A and B are shown apart, each in its own frame.
Chain A
């Protein structure tokens, strides 16, 4: 497993896998399978995949620790950037195919419609993360500050779920499922950080100077 994850092919393979949802949309477009309301279908598909990639990105750290697979970190940036990529497609569908680049309409919508306000905020929060995803930016910001900044993904994912929940009419099972998964992933972090602090206190208490 370790060898597989460390192989030089693993990144290109995962890159191509991440493009599959887009390829599927293209295939469906060519075969007229975007339903009678293609704009809605594309909006929903790209939104769904944004949430899925946010969830997958949030899975990296817990999986690394729980499964003892530190190599998984190699894919985190790419997965996060794919979440941003699908968020961009989702936003583009909205601004282009739904609003036809009518910016004043768009701002009115964002101000007036709560689900669009939170969705747009979730999208905005991802922009600094995408911009600072390079090694250069980690160096410039310093590891600690960079990590603090990148915790914005927690809020983006949570807002993304609310954005979904607020627009379904009655079938809340799917947004609630995303909500439950995101909640578990965030709670795991909370407990992990609490037990780490506790561990640090115990370590500090036991490592008393000897003499």
Chain B
């Protein structure tokens, strides 16, 4: 397969954590003066809540990926305090509060179904499947906000290689961890659990589809889907399933959580598409967290060069 490279190739160095922490201090100081001037815009960037202590640890990154965008990264504090992880509550600030005691160790991911070598991977084994890359991806939520995140992980195809899918495998079904004891807020969210997602096999094998094990140079915080998640940057955020415990290669299109909940609103494909509105709101624009003005949403979230060929001849208005 010919893999075309993105147009924005040059890798820009990740801002070290110490620098953006200082930036926050600066904003906090500046803000006090700014309030009077423009109580709206500048003021609310000040004095962000102090970073809580997460059980994250450093990850050694072997390579930096050519797939990375050069766009400015969203501050760590925003990516960890503005989350949709409905098992831990439906308010954006709920997961940061409610996921702190989530036990992510020991952890195992069972890979099964139409594969020659089904097996259970421990977390240590997952970290050794392939050299860890850093990939700075745009991430677009179906709710019309977006972030830029320096993920750490490896292409899903590396994992698939190890288990050797049979010719019968056409789709990949993913399942999240679910424990009502550790996730008491889940019952108020209106979704059925465990959370399930799915990709067509060729989508999953596209090198952009990432098995994510970390971000910002560290392991994943609980509220961002620790310890292992998918990152599928050309699809709406809910396709990037968190805290995976099971991966199943299957012959038929698997059920997916949001599609099951409201099929007319959330399709199986869920590719980012500014031309196909959600039935209740527009998808033409998005608000990048930290910005005031909305920016236009890009087809396939700006990853057309890499993924558009997966959908040749398909009516994307029907296959939303």
Contacts and interface: CB of A to CB of B under 8 A. Distances in A.
Nearest to B190: A170
B290 interface: yes
Interface string A89-101: 0000000010010
A170 B86 contact: yes
A53 interface: no
Interface stretch (B10-18, B39-47, B60-68, B247-255): B39-47
A145 interface: no
B43 A36 contact: no
Given A35-B82, A36-B81, A171-B189, A29 B281 contact: no
Contact of A29 (B44, B143, B282): B44
Interface string A29-59: 1111111111110000000000000000000
B35 interface: yes
Contact of A167 (B35, B90, B280): B280
B49 A30 contact: no
B90 A171 contact: yes
Interface residues of A, number: 26
B120 interface: no
A204 interface: no
Contacts of B190: 169-173
Size band of the interface chain B makes with A: 35 or more
Contacts of A33: 49
Main secondary structure of the interface of A (DSSP, over half): loop
Interface string B1-45: 000000000000000000000000000100100010001100111
A172 B191 CA distance: 10
Nearest to A173: B188
Interface in A16-39: 26, 29-39
Contacts of A64: none
B265 to A, nearest CB: 8
Contacts of A40: 145, 287
Contacts of B280: 113-115, 166-167
B44 A32 contact: yes
A114 B79 CA distance: 31
B93 interface: yes
B293 A37 contact: no
Interface string B93-129: 1000000000000000000000000000000000000
Nearest to B191: A170
Nearest to A32: B47
- Residue with the greatest number of chain B CB neighbours at <10 A, chosen from A31, A38, A169, A170: A169
A170 B40 contact: no
Contacts of A167: 280-281
A100 B16 CA distance: 34
The 9 closest A-B pairs by CB, nearest first: A170-B190, A36-B78, A36-B82, A32-B47, A171-B90, A38-B44, A36-B289, A32-B48, A34-B44
